[in-house]
Amino acid sequence: MNSKALTKIQTAALIAIVAVAAVAGGAAYVLWSSPAQPTENVRIGICADLDSAYGRNVWQGAVLAAEQTNAEGGFLGRNITVIGEDDDGESSTDIAVGINALTKLITIDKADYVISPGMLNTLAYQNVCCEHKKIFINIADGSDDYSQRVLDNYEKYKYSFRTQPLNDTTIATRMLGEIIAVGKYTGFTKVALLFDDMPLAKAIASGLSVSLPENGLEVVYNALYSFGTTDFASYFAAIEESGAEILVPWIIMAEVPFVKEWYDRQSPLVVWGVLASAQDSDFWELTEGKCNTMSFSGLPAIAGYPLTNKTAPAREAYVQRWGEAPNMLAVATYDTVRFVLADAVRRAGTTETEAVIHALETIDVETASARHFVFTTSHDVLAKSQSPNTPSEDYFLYFIFQWQNGTQVPMYPEAIAKEAGGTYKYPNWDGPWSK
């Protein structure tokens, strides 16, 4: 057979293959290619109440991270697509609604990885994702059971990770260290606890009522307020009557009326604790500046403190893209996609689940919230706390910031406060600080 005849045969074969490909959807590529990574987009699934403020922030954090990652080549050359299913979290108490949304996200929308704040449905969501062998990243729910399951039944629950240190034990230990710090700053020893009547808050308050006296601080008032309360006058009256000097709040959804009551009555208390929206950049305006000298828990990317090389760029990009500063859930979602998953996939060299799980378990990456983001053996993020054997400020940590004349100034950890030149300030009316 001469070369011309061979060429004709090759040409005929190529035409036949192209014709088959046109009918069979890409068969020619399979015939002529060696095995390779899939070429379709990587699908990041968001399961949250997408009509709510918190759901919107989760979505915006994921979309921004995907856009930036895609501009740099995506995950191993594959673009990221963010897909979402609304679990109606704030308005529905029917767990089936959330499970149906999550199941659709996995089976119909074909999500490769799932991110969710979870809230009341986290353990059920964990079960669904593990049954489908999908990596599930919890960014908000603090149940100790979530991470304990990984330790108790690794093969079943190895797909579960949490990218914020929000479990009951970690929060209680962290808050103890924070309250000890304000005691050192002020010399005050009498503490009032005012927490919302929800399971996590109740557990933390109960733990603090035991641990604070063990550390030289007297709990003179300890009460739970009904979730949804907006009038705090009676609580402040009782707290002042108790002789408290430090008020440690856990206020969710009612921060502005709480702040205004404290300011308008010129309450002789320093406030240092959890005020969920106090870390938002518009809180100063919302409270008409009445939050001045109030101290609250927050993340560096929200307040704009440049903890890592990623913190300020992440915040600036979010503000530019969405016209508002990020909240806690936005930062957690952004970090998860932009740095945590991206680093794991890159080191794994594949998006295949088992390989990515191993890469997540061995991760050590810089994010907007940690100089070293590392997972524990229970797949919780390793965090700085008050315990003597925990890591330094180089690992994930929450700050205590204080509002000072419209600026959020770091107060805790003490090493960060010193680094930032922060000095604790008192209210401009009389109180125990006047003596």
Radius of gyration, alpha carbons of the chain: 26
pLDDT at residue 121 in the model: 85
- 112 lies in some domain: yes
Amino acid 198: pLDDT: 85
**pLDDT given for residue 39 in this prediction:** 60
For residue 223, what pLDDT is reported? 97
Task: Check whether residue 187 and residue 282 sit in a common domain.
Answer: yes
Block means of pLDDT (10 residues each) for the chain, 435 residues, are 38 37 34 45 95 90 98 96 86 78 96 89 94 96 88 98 82 89 96 92 91 96 93 98 98 94 98 92 94 94 90 96 92 97 98 97 96 95 67 82 95 89 95 94
- Do both 204 and 98 map to the same domain? no
Q: Residue 422: phi, psi to the nearest 5?
A: -75, 140
What does each C-alpha distance from 129 to 38, 100, 110, 392 come to in angstroms? 22, 12, 12, 33
Give the strand pairing for 190-196 and 218-225.
Answer: parallel
CATH number at residue 235: 3.40.50.2300
**336 secondary structure, DSSP code:** I
Is the dihedral angle over the CA atoms 210, 184, 399, 262 positive or is it negative? positive
135 domain residue, yes or no: yes
Domain span at residue 276?
Answer: 169-299+391-434
154 and 286 co-located in one domain: no
- Residue 317 covered by a domain: yes
- Contact, 191 vs 217, CB < 8 A? yes
Same domain? For 400 and 349 the reply is: no
Q: Which two structure tokens, joined as six digits, stand for 264? A: 């308008």
Is 9 inside a domain boundary?
Answer: no
Res 36: pLDDT: 44
Is the same domain home to 227 and 282? yes
pLDDT of residue 415: 85
What pLDDT is recorded for position 18? 34
Work out how many domains the chain is built from and give that number: 2
pLDDT at position 388: 52
In-domain check, residue 19: no
According to the model, what pLDDT value does residue 283 have?
A: 93
